[in-house]
Every structure is written in C-alpha cells, then in structure tokens.
Structure 1
Amino acid sequence: MAPSNQRRSGFSKRAQYNLFTGYIVAGIGALIGAVLLGISFFQPHLFGGPRGVAQDAASPATETVAAARTGSKSLWDSVSGYYRAGSKNAELKREVELARIRLQEAEALRQENVRLKGLLDLHDEERRPVAVARLVGSSSSSTRRFAYLGAGTDDGVRVGMPVRSARGVVGRILETGRASSRVLLLTDSESVLPVRRAGDETVAFAEGRGDSLLRIKLINLGINPLKKNDMFVTSGAGGYYAPGTAVAIVTELTDDGALARIVSDPAATDYVSVEEIFEPEAAVGARTPIEEELGE
C-alpha cells in the first residue's frame, strides 16, 4: 500500500522540539510570575525601583498625550468662543446702550427737579400705566408710520395717550377700538414732539421724516451747539408726554439742528405701556392738548 502524502506533525522531530520548548518556556514564565507575585505580597518595596524606571520611561509619552489633550481643548474653546463672540458683543452693546439711556433720563429728571424745586405745591406722583400690551403690527408698506396695539377702550386706552417702551417714547394713540388701537409713531411725517437735550436747556422739535430718523430742529437758531451722540428727551411742553423720557440720539449735524436715531425702534419692540396724558400743574384749569385737538 502506498504511503499517504499527508503526514501528522508528530512524525516531525522539529515540530516536536518546538512544542516541547514552548511548554518549557511557558512553565518557566509561570514559575517566575508566581515567585514575583509572592515577593510582591511579602516585600512590596522591592518593586519600587522597577516601577519608577517604567514610569520614567512612560512619562514623556503621557506628557505628550496630556499636552495634546489640553491643546485640543484650548483650541475648541477658542473656536467656540470665536463663534459666540458676535452674540456676546451684540448683547453687551444693547446693555451699554440701555444703561446710557437710563443715565441720560436720570440726568434729565435731575434737571427737571432743579427747575421745579422752588414750587411750594410740588409733589411727585407715581405714573402708573393705563395698559400694557403688545404691538401687533405696523404699516411698513405705507408712506405713513403707524403701529397697531392690542389694547383699546375696554382697557382704558384713549386718543392722545402717550405710548412708550422700556427704552423710550414710541408714539401716541391716534385711534381706538374696543380691543385695539392705532399708534402714531414718532417717525411719522405728521409727528412733532417738543424735546430738549438731556443735561441742559437746549430745546428743539423732533419731527418725523417717514423713515427711521427724526429731524431735530432747534428753536433758537445761531451757532449749532449740538454734538454727535447727544441724547434728547421729552421736554413736557405742550402736554401729552411727561418730561425726561428718552426720545433720540444725534447721529448727524445739520444747519438748523441734527438728524437723530430713535432709541425705541418699534420694529424691535414687543410690549409697550400706555400712559395717562401729561398735564403740567401750571396748566390746571386750562384745556388739555387732546381737548384742543378734538375741539371739545
């Protein structure tokens, strides 16, 4: 019978030697491991040196990994901070501008108190809003500048009442319904508001132009005393608006005054308050501005 071409490894002496050597090496390794394990239980300080050498050898690699991790974290913080910087800057600008408006209004009220200090019958009254409602629409496609308010006669709103936001004057009530009203905005071409520069007695009229700017026309013509970034507030003259409420900030000088940006943009305003018509105490007994307008 012919011998088979497939021979088992057991017939190869080299394979047998390799297998036997593997068993011997594994046995010696297990024995050394058992001895080292036993020594580690009874004499653990003997392995301090080898552990220190191993730690020193691995230290450069671990430092590199830690530095890479810290660097990637710093890079991510830088990238995310870059993308957040725009919104943070815009928020800070809004806060600074609002704080500046409040400071100018406070200065205007201080000046008003100085003027009225000599009156013996002067007393302060807290002005409570008649209604607080949302601006529900505007006439953006029209040449006139109106806004629509979600409050009407059922809420106590009457024609002529001033409308303001947290930033400043928005306009005044022009028409009323039971549950809604139409507001004549400051920027309307038919709007004229007596104003004065915050901090002194420079008086003027703020006239609407039909866009986002007001025309500041000085009453006393001559050398133009105005400067950019001057704040104008209501003067209280003519009724309607109480004195000291922010109106506009000068952006460009003209021969007879300036152009000013309104501080309370209706497009960026959600809720507004409707206030009582301002009537100076000196005008008690006289006809109010709304009575004169309506011919009552």
Structure 2
Amino acid sequence: MAPSRNRRPGFSRRAQYGLFLGYVIAAAGAIVAVILLALATLNPPAFIAFRATVAEITTPISSGLAGFGRGVASIPASIGDHFAVNQKNAQLRKEIADNRALLLRARMLSYDNRRLKALLHLRERNADPVVTARLVSSSASSTRRFAVLNAGAWQGVREGQPVRGPEGLIGRILETGPNTARVLLLTDPESIVPVRRTRDGLPALAAGRGDGMIDIRSVSLSNVPFEPGDVFVTSGTGGIYSPNIPVARIVRRSRDTALARSFAQPDTLDFALVQQTFMPVLPPTPAAAAPGAAAKP
C-alpha cells in the first residue's frame, strides 16, 4: 500500500508547532548560510570581522562546555583515585604499625646493648672480677630482699663478696652453693653499707628498709640536711665494698635520716658482676715453732 501524501502530524497542536518551528529554523539557517557565503565572496574583510566577533562571543561558551565535559569525564578517575588513596592509606598504616614494632624492638636491643657494654667496661676497669653471672630471680613481696645468682663456689664465688651492676651496687653474697649464690640486696633490712656524699664527702650509712627503698643516716654529725638529688657512693670503710660505687640518690629533703632510691634495681637487671672484697681477709699464718723446742730425730 502506497504511503499517504498527507504529512500533517495528526490533530496535536504541539506537534504541529514543533514541525512548523523546524521548518522556520531550517529556512533561517539556509538564508544565513547564503548571506555568509555571499559576504565571504563579495567582501572578505567584512566576513573576517564577523567571524572574529562570533568567535569572541562563542569562545567563553565553548570553554565552559569543555570544562563541564572534562569535569564529567574526570568523575570516574576521581572515584578510582579515591579508592586508590584509601588502599594506599591502609598500606601506609600497616607499614607504620610494622615499623613501630621494629622500633620498640630496636629500643629494647639498644637498651640491653648499653647496659651490657657498661657491664663489660666495668669488668675491664676492675682488676680482680670474680665472675659475670645472671640474676635469675629476686624477692619482691617479702619484707626480706634477696636475689639468686646462677654462679656459685665452683665459679669462685665466696660469701661476703660485693655484687654490682652497670648502674651501681646491688648487694653482697650471703650464701653460696656449687652453682648458685644468694645475694643480700641493698634494700634488705639487714643490709648496711658505709657510704659518703659525693659533693662534700659526708660519711653516712645506707640501710635497707625492706620496702624497696634505703635510709641514709649521718654517722658523724647531727641535724645534717639532705637535699633531693644528693648522690651517695661507697666509701671503702669496712673493707667489703671498693670505694666510689654508686649506691643511692636522695628523693626527699630531710635531716639526719633521708629516704633514698638505689641506682641498681634488681627486678630490672639480668646480669651482675661479682667482685673480690676490697680488703680481703688474709688466711691465718701457721704458728711459729716455740723457741728451744728440740727437733725430733
């Protein structure tokens, strides 16, 4: 069946107006094209000026549309970058956590290294060390303060020998076994160590309290002022401890008797150095033969 020659878009006025407007625009476009073609042929300078004017008017619109297009086109890339940044952030957080663990381990190793180097330097300076051993345990809850050393008589450890660490004096040997020794700590109530103050040489006694602290008592003067930060070292009196071993530091201002904290804390130590006594007791000499005694044949 042949198509109808009637091209009217039905009875809809909107469709009719749209069709009419399309015809008008097409006709206007054809007229403008003919005018521009004639202008370009007959008067090229005028056509160039007209074209420049149109370009000046349309360039901002074109720029805006181009920017809008680039913005729309960049949306997928921005979404991808967002997820990539989140993933990278998670990786960096994991690296920071791993590095924090490594940093803590490095700090622990550095701390142990400093302490072991100090102990080695102490052993090198000391002319007569007995043995370097490990403190395997110490009492923390009892009123008595002892520690156990994993070296004994077979390693040359004897009763009365001083025990010290990198930070200062720990105590002295109280009992010995074949491979173990019991150390009387400075903070034990039975421990008394002759000391002197470093800034003026004031003689004093460091007595344990049984609670982890030490009492410093003056032995020569009364009403002696003690200031926080005063440092006391062994004086050498008594012949057990060699002089100038750090013992304790005053923590509270007082007179006659002051509260102090020992430099060496056994609960944080692992190695200790056993030394010979400062003035070892000489073995008894054999009795001389009585004069005039007759020799046996």
- TM-score, normalising length from structure 2? 0.55
Per the TM alignment, residue 74 of structure 1 is displaced from its structure 2 partner at its CA by 4.9
* In 2: Cα distance, 1:201 partner to 1:153 partner: 36
How many pairs are equivalent?
A: 205
Per the TM alignment, residue 264 of structure 1 is displaced from its structure 2 partner at its CA by 1.7
Instruction: Report Cα offsets for 1:152-196 as digits up to 9, x if no partner.
Output: 222222221101122221111122333332222111111111223
Q: Does 1:267 align with 2:267?
A: yes
For structure 1, which runs of at least 5 residues remain unmatched after alignment? Answer: 1-52, 107-123, 280-287, 292-296
Aligned-pair Cα RMSD in Å: 4.1
Query: Which of 71, 76, 86 is matched with 1:68 structurally?
Result: 86
- What does residue 224 of structure 1 align with? 225
Matched residue of 1:61: which SS?
helix
Q: Is the 8 A contact 2:226 2:255 kept in 1?
A: no
Q: 1:160 to 1:236 in 2, by over 3 A?
A: same
Larger radius of gyration: 2
Q: Is the 8 A contact 1:127 1:275 kept in 2?
A: no
* In 1: Cα distance, 2:79 partner to 2:91 partner: 18
Q: Is the 8 A contact 1:169 1:264 kept in 2?
A: yes
Q: Which amino acid in the other structure matches residue 69 of structure 1?
A: Q
Q: Where in structure 2 are the equivalents of 1:1-296 lying within 5 Å?
A: 59-76=77-94, 80=97, 126-140=126-140, 142-219=142-219, 220-222=221-223, 224-227=225-228, 229-279=229-279
Q: Which amino acid in the other structure matches residue 237 of structure 1?
A: T
Q: Is the 8 A contact 1:131 1:273 kept in 2?
A: yes
* In 1: Cα distance, 2:102 partner to 2:230 partner: 29
Q: Which amino acid in the other structure matches residue 244 of structure 1?
A: N
Deviates more, 1:211-220 or 1:244-253: 244-253
Moved beyond 6 Å, runs of 4+: 92-95
Per the TM alignment, residue 270 of structure 1 is displaced from its structure 2 partner at its CA by 2.4
Matched residue of 1:272: which SS?
strand
* In 2: Cα distance, 1:62 partner to 1:269 partner: 55
Matched residue of 1:252: which SS?
coil
Per the TM alignment, residue 217 of structure 1 is displaced from its structure 2 partner at its CA by 1.4
* In 1: Cα distance, 2:210 partner to 2:275 partner: 24
Q: 1:63 to 1:86 in 2, by over 3 A?
A: closer
Q: 1:216 to 1:72 in 2, by over 3 A?
A: same
Q: Is the 8 A contact 1:226 1:257 kept in 2?
A: no
Matched residue of 1:259: which SS?
strand
Q: Which amino acid in the other structure matches residue 227 of structure 2?
A: L
Matched residue of 1:233: which SS?
strand
Per the TM alignment, residue 259 of structure 1 is displaced from its structure 2 partner at its CA by 1.2
* In 2: Cα distance, 1:180 partner to 1:92 partner: 27
Q: Which amino acid in the other structure matches residue 155 of structure 2?
A: D
Q: 1:66 to 1:158 in 2, by over 3 A?
A: same
* In 1: Cα distance, 2:207 partner to 2:277 partner: 20
State the identity as a percent: 38
* In 2: Cα distance, 1:92 partner to 1:176 partner: 32
